[in-house]
Structure 1
Amino acid sequence: MTLVDLYAAHAATGKSPATLRTWIHRGHLTRHGYDPRGRALVDLHDVQTLIAAKATPVAA
């Protein structure tokens, strides 16, 4: 597990911190506490997995 704040996740994936916050709020991502500055921490692998899942087209 690689815990990063939303800004580091943005730098690694290109998804905006606002989008990541929305995904946390909707339950798509799990927040793993806060860093000393009060920023939410997420698992970078979870973020990358979610982005890949959302990019995969759904077969009808």
Structure 2
Amino acid sequence: MAPQPLLVDTQAAQLATGVPAGTLRVWLHRGRLTRHGHDRQGRALVDLNEVRQFAHPAAA
């Protein structure tokens, strides 16, 4: 059973993983990450667990 998504904006994902927000936006554009809507400020929401998988594949 997959864990529940932990939705955060790209800035929070950057702080949690060290992956620059610009890189996260490129991954979203290329379809590598799934966009889970937008927050009230219009920032893309991503699953922090998914970002961690791509940022650190050996740990996943």
TM-score by length of 1: 0.85
CA radius of gyration, larger in: 1
Measure how far apart 1:4 and its partner are. 0.1
Unaligned runs of 5+ in 1: none
Q: Which of the numbers 18, 22, 25 marks the counterpart of 1:21?
A: 25
Unaligned runs of 5+ in 2: none
Count of equivalent residues: 54
- Select which of 23, 45, 49 maps to 1:45: 49
Give the TM-score, by structure 2 length: 0.85
How well do the aligned residues superpose, as a CA RMSD in angstroms? 0.8
Runs ≥4 residues deviating over 2 A: none
Q: 1:10 and 2:23 equivalent?
A: no
User: What are the Cα deviations for residues 27-46 of structure 1, in whole angstroms up to 9, with x where unaligned?
Assistant: 10000000001000000000
